[in-house]
Amino acid sequence: MTHSVRDFSVLSRPCSLVVFLSAVHLLVALYYVLYSPETLSFLPYFKEAFSNTGLPTNRSRNDGMFVTSAQSKEPSPDETTSLPSAAPQSCPETPPRLVGPHHVEFSNPVSLELVRKENPEIQEGGRWRPKDCTARQKVAIIIPYRHRKTHLKYWLYYLHPILQRQQLDYGVYVVNQYGETTFNRAKLMNVGFTEALKQYDYDCFVFSDVDIVPADDRNLYKCYNQPRHLSVALDKFGFRLPYERIFGGASAMNKEQFTKINGYPNNYWGWGGEDDDVSNRLSIRGLSISRPDSIIGRCRMITHTEDTNNAPNPKRFDQIKHTRETIDRDGLSSLQYRLVSVEKCPLYTNVTVDVGTP
Ligand code: UD2
Ligand code: MN
């Protein structure tokens, strides 16, 4: 008996060491389970599951609701459940799978089914992010739109693969002007900025016409230290800038740059002038325009005739003379619109908005 007791005491030291090490192991494992990025990325869904009373919805409507920019709610965390969760390392500065110049043509029609088939990773609402690295920027692409379905299909067909190769965490927002009143491209941009921020915490905004497609994927659709003009060498203009201060077509501004200029003006109805007003806003606020060179900046524009209800704005020449007086009172600060619907289509988010009349 004494002998066996002595035996146990010989064992007790290694045993307690084993128990101690197991406890440490358990605690470390528990820590990783609770605080790993995967678990954290599930938390919002747990929260939603416990707080949700109805069915999950991918469509929000507020017919008849009048929205001002001041009412825009806090950016919500990404609510798109099937996107890959953030990877630990950030994506390389230069995306590795770019192809450089590529062929762009608008002769054979493309269908949305084809675009979906060729881009199986795009999530509803036109959202995508890389799965093997964390994108350097969260980019909302804002497209002013009305009655240009054929152009939109080409745009989606060419741009989705390019934006994926550029490793951006991006979403496509088609801002569709409701009704048949005079078109207001600039106001649609302000609505796109405001509505995209309600969906996700974007830090960069690319504003692009629906008919412009880059012909070189090294032309990164992201933001830079200065506002970026992207469509610098358009076929329409003989592959060069028609004038130095041009900022129309496709351009990118981060949140800070865009709010610094108070966004786009809301009072340019019909064709023209609004892009030059933004260019004035940039120089008034001490910002300059950055651009890729004319090789990387090659773009194609789909040729088209004048749209109905978008005749040249006769007031534009006078308006662009007065940007200095209007910049503070006309823009994001005075934005008012009636949101008709926000619909998450498979390849883009369709924001339909009543912007009113002149
Ligand atoms: C030039 C500018 C453009 C804008 C416009 C004057 C370039 C390369 N482009 O383009 O940025 O400043 O002049 O407003 O400098 N849209 C519709 N439906 C309509 C009308 C317009 O969807 O009924 C949208 C669409 O995205 C279109 C954009 O507005 O691409 C600009 O209109 P545009 O294509 O008629 O103007 P454009 O080509 O002269
Ligand atoms: Mn055009």
Q: Name residues whose C-beta falls within 8 Å of residue 162's C-beta, 6 or more positions apart in sequence.
A: 214, 217, 221
Pick from 18-22, 264-268, 293-297: least confident: 18-22
Q: Give yes or no for residue 234 CB within 6 A of ligand 1.
A: yes
Residue 52 — pLDDT band, cuts 50, 70, 90? Answer: very low
Give the tens place of pLDDT for each residue, 237-252.
Answer: 999 999 999 999 999 9
The residue whose CA is least distant from atom 30 of ligand 1 is 209
pTM comes to 0.82
Please state, in angstroms and as integers, the Cα–Cα distance from residue 230 to each residue in 20, 218, 221, 222, 250, following that order: 61, 11, 8, 9, 5
- Say how many Å lie between the CA of residue 40 and the centre of ligand 1: 43
Q: Which of 151, 209, 245, 301 to mutate to test the pocket of ligand 1 (most atoms within 8 A of CB)?
A: 209
Compute the average pLDDT of residues 277-295: 98
**Mean pLDDT across the chain, nearest whole number?**
86
pLDDT at 245: 96
What distance lies between CA 221 and its chain's CA centroid? 10
Give the tens place of pLDDT for each residue, 11-45.
Answer: 566 657 666 677 766 665 555 544 544 344 333 33
- Please report whether residue 75 resides in a domain: no
Q: Give yes or no for residue 192 CB within 6 A of ligand 1.
A: no
Helix (H, G, I), strand (E, B) or coil at 248: coil
- Please report whether residue 182 resides in a domain: yes
- Please report whether residue 61 resides in a domain: no
pLDDT at 114: 98
Task: Please tell me the distance from the alpha carbon of residue 358 to that of residue 108, in angstroms, as a whole number.
Answer: 38
Q: Which two tokens stand for residue 268?
A: 């340019």
Q: At what angle do helices 274-284 and 185-199 cross, to 10 degrees?
A: 60
Neighbours of ion ligand 2 (CB under 5 A): 211
Compute the average pLDDT of residues 176-201: 98
The total domain count for the chain is 1
Res. 79: pLDDT tops 60:
no
Range of the domain at 208: 114-302+311-354
- Please report whether residue 342 resides in a domain: yes
Q: Give yes or no for residue 210 CB within 6 A of ligand 1.
A: yes
- Please report whether residue 13 resides in a domain: no
The domain spanning residue 327 has which CATH number?
3.90.550.10
Q: Give yes or no for residue 144 CB within 6 A of ligand 1.
A: yes
Ligand at shortest distance from the CA of 234? 1
Compute the average pLDDT of residues 267-276: 98
Compute the average pLDDT of residues 178-199: 98
Give the tens place of pLDDT for each residue, 113-147.
Answer: 999 999 999 999 999 999 999 999 999 999 999 99
Q: Which among 316, 339, 337, 340 is positioned nearest to 326, based on CA atoms?
A: 316
pLDDT at 88: 80
Q: Give yes or no for residue 154 CB within 6 A of ligand 1.
A: no
Task: Please tell me the distance from the alpha carbon of residue 263 to that of residue 189, in angstroms, as a whole number.
Answer: 8
Res. 59: pLDDT tops 50:
no
- Please report whether residue 32 resides in a domain: no
pLDDT at 125: 98
Ligand at shortest distance from the CA of 188? 1
Give the tens place of pLDDT for each residue, 300-357.
Answer: 999 999 999 999 999 999 999 999 999 999 999 999 999 999 999 999 999 999 999 9
- Please report whether residue 2 resides in a domain: no
- Please report whether residue 267 resides in a domain: yes
